[in-house]
Amino acid sequence: MNQPLTRRQMLRTACAATAFVGIAPRLTRLQAAEPAQYELPKLPYAFDALEPAIDAATMQLHFEKHHKAYIDNLNKALADQPDLRSLPIAELVRGLVPGKSPAALVNHGGGHLNHTMFWESLRAPRADNRPDKALSELIARSFKTFDAFREQFTKTALGRFGSGWAWLALDGRQELIIRDTVNQESPLMFAQQPLLGLDVWEHAYYLKYHNRRADYINAWWSVVNWDSVASRLDNVSSK
Ligand code: MN3
């Protein structure tokens, strides 16, 4: 149990150093680098930024209630494990095995990571929203054309029975794949790298689209932030 003490000491040292040089933002970064608790990330846009594809009321509820609940429950599940609580969320999730790891970690750790990625993967709607040339060509290499990829991904998202996600991911051979996961499982739990995820839980669309998942998916394509997908791919490739 000396981990919290160590962290407190480190923070105290950081505080002293910061007070001395008087740079407050530096302290914020030091704290963010090793959080004692998982925290709700900052949403990179306003709740209404994705209208009309995703409505503000759904965004606010999804972010402030659903995502927050995964984080609160994850922190609760890790109450006695500060060493795990200080891991970057992707590292925590990468180490989980569905069916073997504690269900609370798979559900809430996966929930936190999946939603964090989801918000980052969205932007204001664009007509004919497509990736840039390089990413389009890469996608076309695996799925023939971008439109064929879109069709297959949509089919996977529609076919996910009950709650879960549809994904574009890299498999162990660094090939692009489309797959779904149940509940809050992440491709990372299967040694695959998630690049783009679509939340098809009813809480993601029911307020506006009711039972029309197909309409939600169709609208979601207009708000995919392809730049975030490209940079995620760059990060994987450069490792
Ligand atoms: Mn959700």
Q: What is the pLDDT of residue 236?
A: 87
Q: What is the pLDDT of residue 238?
A: 75
* Distance, C-alpha 163 to centroid of its chain: 16
> How far does the centroid of ligand 1 lie from the alpha carbon of residue 172, in Å?
26
> How far does the centroid of ligand 1 lie from the alpha carbon of residue 220, in Å?
14
In contact, 113 and 95? CB cutoff 8 Å: no
> How far does the centroid of ligand 1 lie from the alpha carbon of residue 185, in Å?
12
Q: What is the pLDDT of residue 36?
A: 79
> Which helix (H) or strand (E) segment is 125 a member of?
none
Q: Which CATH architecture has domain 55-239?
A: 3-Layer(bab) Sandwich (3.55)
Q: What is the pLDDT of residue 6?
A: 39
> How far does the centroid of ligand 1 lie from the alpha carbon of residue 199, in Å?
6
User: What does R_g of the chain's alpha carbons equal in angstroms?
Assistant: 19
Q: What is the pLDDT of residue 33?
A: 52
Output the six-digit token pair for 115.
């939603």
Q: What is the pLDDT of residue 239?
A: 66
3-state secondary structure 22-78: CCHHHHHHHHHHCCCCCCCCCCCCCCCCCCCCCCHHHHHHHHHHHHHHHHHHHHHHC
> How far does the centroid of ligand 1 lie from the alpha carbon of residue 97, in Å?
21
Q: What is the pLDDT of residue 167?
A: 98
> The pTM is what?
0.84
* Domain boundaries defined on the chain: 55-239
Indicate the DSSP class of residue 187.
G
Per-residue pLDDT for the chain (239 aa), expressed as one digit of tens each?
334 433 333 333 333 333 333 344 444 545 555 557 999 999 999 999 999 999 999 999 999 999 999 999 999 999 999 999 999 999 999 999 999 999 999 999 999 999 999 999 999 999 999 999 999 999 999 999 999 999 999 999 999 999 999 999 999 999 999 999 999 999 999 999 999 999 999 999 999 999 999 999 999 999 999 999 999 999 887 76
In contact, 58 and 208? CB cutoff 8 Å: yes
Residue of 140, 79, 144 lying closest to 105 (CA atoms): 79
> How far does the centroid of ligand 1 lie from the alpha carbon of residue 229, in Å?
19
> Which helix (H) or strand (E) segment is 169 a member of?
strand 164-170
Q: What distance in Å separates the CA atoms of residue 198 and residue 120, rounded to the nearest whole number?
A: 12
- β-sheet bridge partners, residue 104: none
